[in-house]
Amino acid sequence: MNFDTIKKEMNDSVNQLPKDEFKIDLSKGKNNPVHMIRRNMKKEMISSSIVMLFFVFYPPILGLKMTALENSAYILFMVLSTVMIHLYIIKLIRFLKKSSRFELNTKDSIKDYIYEVRLTLESYKSYVIAAMILLPVPIYALLSAGSPLNGPKSLNFEKWYTLQLNFNEAVMLIVFYLIYSVAMVWVTRFWTNYLYGKHVTELEKIVSDLDAVD
Amino acid sequence: MKEKEFLILIEAHSGILYKVSRMYMDSEVDQEDLRQDIIFQLWKSIDKFKGDSQFSSWMYRVAINTSITFFKRDKKRPDKAEIDPNLNVADNVERDEKESQLAHFYKAVKMLNKIEKAIILLFIEGYSHDQIAKQLGLSNGNTRVKLNRTKQKIKELIKTQGYEF
């Protein structure tokens, strides 16, 4: 054996292969935008589910001392946020199941895929924003809770939670929530674009390239 | 470039796709995935091909770069395939002598790292030291040394399989 015979045999073996019809098939491959979207969705589903479930059980794990009100508010709002997060996880699972049946080797099938992914991402953003807007309450309850060593803190959770506020404090709360909500909308959009948007844009470019040749 | 023209061009050079995918991947499914990734990368960057080199050279460059980064993000994938010690290619009576030689070669190639695979593939395809260096972005001297070492490594690996080289 030598390298010349290997070259000849390599060429022979390639020439003997049945000639496939070549096409751009995005349902195959590991680094195309479709695969990236699927991969990021799977990672996000697992990580967000673990994080939310961990935080639901965070105070008892650390043995934090919470008042009855702090405790009930924490559990209520965390459970609500967790439900929201899991609702979008269900949406993502449904999308992944549905999209795994897409052939993705024609312009129309890629267009259908883009439509489905855009639709899923819009409801994903709504659920994430809704869950994020609930979070300041349990976070404040968590901050107010006393550690086993230092005892309770004086952050007046009850006063803020039951809205026993004077005018200035009420304005402060409204302004905080407005700024926080806008920030969460921006962060969610940025995050969605970072994880998925750029890949969807790449798919749209492929479709427009294919459109241009019709 | 129109999709149809592009695919005709790819079909004319389909040997590159098969050779590269077989060098880098073991299973047929992984080879098919890699071929699709290469086609996708070629389609994405076809506008960058200005025609100042041969299409096949450019295609080799894209194919090898794609193969090198194919499982970069997936750390679970081994860089080098584990060789099953019980697998004796020569015992496969269904294969004729020619296929057996090639199988021995591919079995040895699996033990090479990604750069060595690229170097040996380009060498077998008849590329000069200069061209290999350009394709892989290595210096001339480094390419010469790496190529000699890789050739030696392949010979030794094939010899350990009980085959003369």
The reply to whether A160 falls in a domain is yes
Whole-number Å distance between alpha carbons of B40 and B71:
16
Residue A10, token pair as written in the block = 């390599």
Per-residue CA distances from B92 to B22, B95, B99, B156 (Å): 19, 6, 10, 21
**DSSP designation for A196:** I
Residue extents of the structural domains in chain B: 1-77, 79-165
pLDDT string in tens for chain A (214-residue length): 688 888 888 888 887 777 666 777 777 777 788 889 999 999 999 999 999 888 888 877 777 788 888 889 999 999 999 999 999 999 999 999 988 877 777 778 888 899 999 999 999 999 999 999 999 999 888 888 776 665 556 668 888 888 888 999 999 999 999 999 999 999 999 999 999 999 999 888 888 876 665 5
- What's the CATH fold of domain B79-165? Arc Repressor Mutant, subunit A (1.10.10)
By residue range, what is the domain housing residue A159? 30-212
Residues of B with CB under 8 A from a CB of A: 2-4, 7, 10-11, 14-15, 18-19, 32-34, 36-37, 39-41, 43, 66, 69-71, 73-74, 98-99, 101-102, 104-105, 123-126, 151, 158, 163-165
Which residue, chain included where needed, has tokens 């070629």? Answer: B42
Question: How many residues make up chain B in this entry?
Answer: 165
Q: What is the mean pLDDT of residues B67-76?
A: 64
Residues B7-16: tens digit of each pLDDT: 888 888 888 9
Q: What is the CATH number of domain B1-77?
A: 1.10.1740.10
How many Å lie between the alpha carbon of B83 and the closest alpha carbon of chain A? 21
Per-residue CA distances from A209 to A178, B36, B44 (Å): 42, 18, 10
Judge: B37–A30 Cβ closer than 8 Å, yes or no.
Answer: yes
Contact pairs from chain A to chain B, CB under 8 Å: 86
| Threshold 0.80, pTM exceeds | no
Q: Which helix (H) or strand (E) holds A180?
A: helix A167-192
- pLDDT surpasses 70 at B80: no
Whole-number Å distance between alpha carbons of B68 and B75:
13
A35 → chain B, closest CA residue: B37
Judge: A10–B124 Cβ closer than 8 Å, yes or no.
Answer: yes
The Cβ-side half-sphere exposure at B108, using a 13 Å CA radius, reads 25
- pLDDT surpasses 70 at B81: no
Judge: B11–A22 Cβ closer than 8 Å, yes or no.
Answer: yes
Residue type, A119: L
B/e letters for A158-195, b = 16+ CB within 10 Å, e = fewer, are eebbeeeeeeeeeeeeeeeeeeeeeebeeebeeebeeb
Look at chain A and report how many structural domains it folds into. Answer: 1
Closest CB to B165: pick one of A1, A25, A206.
A1
The reply to whether A11 falls in a domain is no
The reply to whether A177 falls in a domain is yes
The reply to whether A2 falls in a domain is no
The reply to whether A57 falls in a domain is yes
Confidence label for B71 from pLDDT (cuts 50, 70 and 90): low
The reply to whether A20 falls in a domain is no
Closest CB to B70: pick one of A1, A10, A30.
A30
The reply to whether A22 falls in a domain is no
- Going by C-alpha positions, the residue among B15, B125, B35 that lies closest to residue A15 is B15
Residue A32, token pair as written in the block = 């195309």
The reply to whether A16 falls in a domain is no
